[in-house]
Chain A
């Protein structure tokens, strides 16, 4: 069964618009970790955030914010006032505690294009 679902394959927004990238996960573990990574055209994965399953507080970092909702198994990512440099593929990922970091399940990614 797919563990991480990113239903949005591609999104295009105009610069300065806000955009939310959806992530829905599936796990039987009570302890798990969720991640967001950014992959710009260069290919290198850029770590954005890690959240453990016991911490449902939303987090804000500059123009980025994350909404973790265990009730709906979602970990959505919002970019406020998007910029052209935000154009990239964004991956949501899940790591289950029982398997530690040995199994990092990636979603299929959402390609974000910010149009100037």
Chain B
């Protein structure tokens, strides 16, 4: 159980285009999902926390208008990188929190999406 998927697993796009990444919890409902960003040889940095049905909470320094997060259902959150630029190239990882059903709210991670902006 507790499987999280991401789609696509990798994407290459031209500078200026927008890219949407999906994060799905496959066998549980996730009241909260998280989006992380990982540059090569660096650690995971939390970008934002999304709660189903409400606006995402962004970490300091993360541009809300550039990284649009939508958590429209209990099993799906999307991250849209708008007007992508080469500096947005990174590994994006989502995680999902089962919420109240767990005795401890831990995060289950997706496999990640590698974004390359040309």
- The answer on a CB contact under 8 Å between B105 and A45 is no
Q: CB of A62 within 8 A of chain B?
A: no
Residue of A whose beta carbon sits closest to that of B110 = A44
A-B contacts, CB under 8 A, total? 50
On chain A, the number of residues with a Cβ less than 8 Å from chain B's Cβ atoms is: 21
On chain B, the number of residues with a Cβ less than 8 Å from chain A's Cβ atoms is: 23
- The answer on a CB contact under 8 Å between A101 and B105 is yes
Residue of B whose beta carbon sits closest to that of A103 = B46
A102 in complex: contacting residue of B32, B42, B108, B110, CB < 8 Å: B32
A45 to B43, CA, bound (A): 12
A47 to B108, CA, bound (A): 8
- A residues in contact with B91, CB < 8 Å: 43
Output the least CB separation between B30 and chain A (Å).
11
Is chain B's binding surface mostly helix, strand, loop or mixed? strand
Which stretch (A14-22, A53-61, A106-114) binds chain B?
Answer: A106-114
Residue of A whose beta carbon sits closest to that of B111 = A44
- B residues in contact with A64, CB < 8 Å: none
Q: Which of A43, A47, A100, A109 has the most CB of B within 10 A?
A: A43
Residue of B whose beta carbon sits closest to that of A100 = B105
Residue of B whose beta carbon sits closest to that of A111 = B41
Chain A residues near B (Cβ < 8 Å): 33, 37, 42-45, 47, 50, 52, 91, 95, 100-104, 106-109, 111
Chain B residues near A (Cβ < 8 Å): 32, 34, 41-46, 49, 91, 93, 95, 97, 104-112, 114
Top 5 closest A-B pairs, CB basis? A101-B105, A44-B111, A45-B109, A43-B112, A108-B43
